[in-house]
Amino acid sequence: MIAMDRCNATMDSCEKQNMAEDKANCQEPRHIRQRASRAARRSLASISPGNSHSQRQSTLISTLPPEVRNLIYGHALSQYADCNTPSRNTTWRGTWRGHTDKAQIKCDTTLLLTCRMIYYEAHMIPLRSATHHIDIDGSELGLIPYFQQYHRPSQQRVDSPYLRLHRLSSQQGRHLYHLHQELALPDTKTFNKLIRPHLKWKRITWTINDSRLMRYDRLTVEIMPILRAIHLPASCHEVNVELQLTECELSRTIQLASLESCQGIELRKEDGSKLVHTGTTKYSRSKDLVIEYDEKVGPIICPDIYEFRRLTWRSGVPKREYTSFDRVRCLEENLAESTVAPSSSGQIAEPPLQGPSGLGI
């Protein structure tokens, strides 16, 4: 309890310090700051090959063909996992971070400062490679420098991906790649929170973390009506729905029946096309921190291994066309060796549970 009090005191001091820094950096009126930001964005958007000749070009432009340059851009500007900096696997409230990244997700955009032509050719690659991990509490891992142009008001939460993504322009939204959102007690409103007309996601993953349901042995929600009500962006080529199975046998039976009913549906897109179910995968996730702290219940001991099911819907577009800049590949971590296929009786087969193996799909 003393440790939690110290943690809360540290959080309060950090928030006060951030508010003081915001106040010091925001002496100018808001409309002046917004006008300067819009002018800077218009200046960057106006860069083209026609107005870039007055600046000395990098040798990347003058000596290398476009194919080699694109390969360099993909490796230098794509989102990557920094294995030297471990990721914080719990939030301030003690809730487990369910996604599989064990390292901090970063993106280095220094190459864009080389010359105007390099910026013109490669400035959208950070967005095309980024997987936006949205946690249960609304925070995001892997904040890329692309979003640092937006001022964070002192009254907003420290890391609000909803605010940043909602403020993206339509030009930027066309290049979004992967949304990986963690959910608890999902409903249609929660699923649609980041499905907006200007956000053209190529890939969407919803992970339903039922750890709270597992604690109180409550039953899971029905997923099929929620999926039927969603209208995906026309740009979306892949949807994954992951569900954490509970330890309660009754809840697990209902969960598997719910997943079985979802396999026969098709997901609708705005343009009228549909995504078809292509398979169900069984995998497990390990947990580094065994003891959690709940504000109402107190310390809770959770299992080391969590079992998941992943349902996948895809269009007919080859996967390599929308995952070419993905260097993190978060969905290919901690997969079990065997995949789950419907048995002859129509129920989901139950292969033996295996630990994390790191094998891809």
Q: What pTM was estimated for this model as a whole?
A: 0.72
- Distance, CA of 18 to CA of 22 (rounded, Å): 6
Question: Is-contact 314 278, C-beta < 8 A?
Answer: yes
Closest CA to 167 of 344, 37, 323: 37
- Distance, CA of 145 to CA of 162 (rounded, Å): 16
The pLDDT assigned to 276 comes to 94
Alpha helices in 84-232 (DSSP H): 116-122, 125-129, 161-166, 170-173, 188-191, 211-216, 224-229
Structure tokens at 83: 């294995």
> How do 103-106 and 80-86 pair as beta strands?
antiparallel
Per-residue confidence in pLDDT tens, the chain, 361 aa: 444 444 444 445 555 555 555 555 556 788 788 888 888 888 888 888 877 776 677 788 878 898 999 999 999 999 888 777 665 544 333 334 444 446 678 888 889 988 888 999 999 999 999 998 887 655 554 434 444 444 444 434 445 777 788 888 888 899 999 999 888 767 788 888 889 999 999 999 998 876 554 444 444 567 888 899 999 999 999 999 988 887 777 778 888 888 888 888 999 999 999 999 998 888 877 654 444 555 665 555 555 677 888 999 999 899 989 998 988 888 876 554 344 444 333 444 443 333 333 323 2
Q: What is the dihedral of CA 41, 42, 45, 49, to 10 degrees?
A: -130
The pLDDT assigned to 258 comes to 83
List strand residue ranges (DSSP E) for the chain, in order: 80-86, 103-106, 131-134, 140-141, 178-183, 203-208, 231-232, 238-244, 267-269, 274-286, 291-294, 298-301, 305-314, 335-340
Question: Is-contact 148 168, C-beta < 8 A?
Answer: no
The pLDDT assigned to 162 comes to 78
Question: Is-contact 96 184, C-beta < 8 A?
Answer: no
> How do 140-141 and 178-183 pair as beta strands?
unpaired
- Distance, CA of 133 to CA of 87 (rounded, Å): 13
